[in-house]
Structure 1
Amino acid sequence: MAKDCRYYVAESVRLYSQETWRVFTQTRRVQRIHKVVDFYISQSQAANHAVREAACICTAELGTNVNKDCLRPYC
C-alpha cells in the first residue's frame, strides 16, 4: 500500500490522496480492511513523528467511518 498522504502538507498531494481514498473505499468496501489496519499500525511505530501522528489520525478516522464489525478483530 502506498504511503497515506491524505494529511500531507502540500495541498495537491493531499487532495489527490483524499480522492484516491474515496474511490478505494467506495469500490473495494471492506474486503481489504485488514491491509489498511496493518499499514496504519506499522506507521504508528515509524521513526518520524509526523508519520506517527498521521497514522493516529487515520486510525481514528477508520474507527468512525468503517463498519465496526470489520474492525472487531483488532479490538
Structure 2
Amino acid sequence: MKGFDWPELMRAGMRGLGLRPQEFWDLTPAELQLMLGEGDGGKPMGRSRLDELMDAFPDDAPSVNKEMLRDG
C-alpha cells in the first residue's frame, strides 16, 4: 500500500491553495482531495432531500433552541 506524499500534499495545500498550516491539518483527506479538484465530490443534493432538511430544521427554531442559546 502506498502512503501519502506529505511534502507534495503540503505544497499543494499551503502554496497552491493558500491554506495556513492549521487549516491544512484540520482537513480530512477527502476534503483536501475535493479542494484540489480531484474526485467528483459526490452527487449534488436533490430537491426532495432539501425539502426533507427544511422540514427537519425549519428557519423558525423552536423555543427550546432559543433557550439553549440564552444558556449557552
Same-fold call, TM > 0.5? no
Q: Which has the larger share of helix?
A: 1
Normalised TM-score (structure 1): 0.25
> Higher RCO, 1 or 2 (CA under 8 Å, sep at least 6)?
1
Normalised TM-score (structure 2): 0.26
